[in-house]
Amino acid sequence: MAKPIGKDWVDAYFEHGVDVGNRRIFLVDEIGPDNVGSLIKGIYLMDALAPKRKNVGEEEEQDEFDRRKITFIIDSEGGSVYDTLALYDVMRTVRSPIETVAVGKCMSAATLLVAAGDVRWATPNCFFMMHDIWSDNGEEKVSTRKIVFKHVEALRKTYFDLLVKHTNVTRVEMTKLCGDRADYFFDADQAVVHGLVDNLWSEKDGEE
């Protein structure tokens, strides 16, 4: 059941996409410096407020997960790879389990955030897009372009290695899907097949 929240929490909800009272965060814009700081702070705050895990039996395990989890709702066209990796590292290192829910659109770097959840959902009408990362340094001198190119290649390897880690797609398949075409679009059912999400979240799922 949702908890009542005060004005400060309402302000945080609408301004920063953080709902501390119900342990939810929202990414409904591009991933970048305008929102990544608030999302990271929100995750750490909710993690600090999480009940400490105790020795639980098998029947209590799901209830323990539900009490501690942070739900991350994502509707984003992607954005900065650096900020995405910062969010990814926070999601993977806090003690609270992260449940990700893709709604509307989940594209580019946002796909990695969805895939990084401990439990991953997508709404039935969500659409996804993956593509290669890119950097525009056409006006830089040649020596600078070489340095940037080397860095982008390392960043690209890290990004795709993580996507492969959290999906059913092999590195060869990932390169073919994202490297041989401009953009690869797919629907929620295909996201399940690719292992990007675990299940579809229908209108009958969720809290009562």
Give the tens place of pLDDT for each residue, 118-163. Answer: 999 999 999 999 998 865 544 555 567 788 888 888 998 999 999 9
**CB contact at 8 A, 159 and 112:** yes
**Residues β-bridged to residue 101:** 73, 121
Find the distance separating the first CA and the last CA of the chain, reported in whole Å. 7
pLDDT digits (tens, 9 = 90+) for 105-128: 999 999 999 999 999 999 999 999
Q: Given 3.30.950.10, 3.40.50.1970, 3.90.226.10, 3.30.413.10, which CATH number is that of 7-200?
A: 3.90.226.10
Task: State the residue for tokens 């954005």.
Answer: 79
Residues 6 or more apart whose Cβ sits within 8 Å of residue 111: 78, 128, 129, 130, 163, 196
**CB contact at 8 A, 166 and 116:** yes
Residue 208 pLDDT more than 50? no
Domains of the chain, residue spans: 7-200
Q: What is the rounded (10 degree) CA torsion for 173, 178, 180, 184? A: 110
Supply the pLDDT for residue 168.
94
As a whole number of angstroms, the distance between CA 93 and CA 164 comes to 19
Average pLDDT over the chain, rounded to an integer:
84
Supply the pLDDT for residue 56.
55
Tokens at residue 156, please? 């690209």
Residue 40 pLDDT more than 90? yes
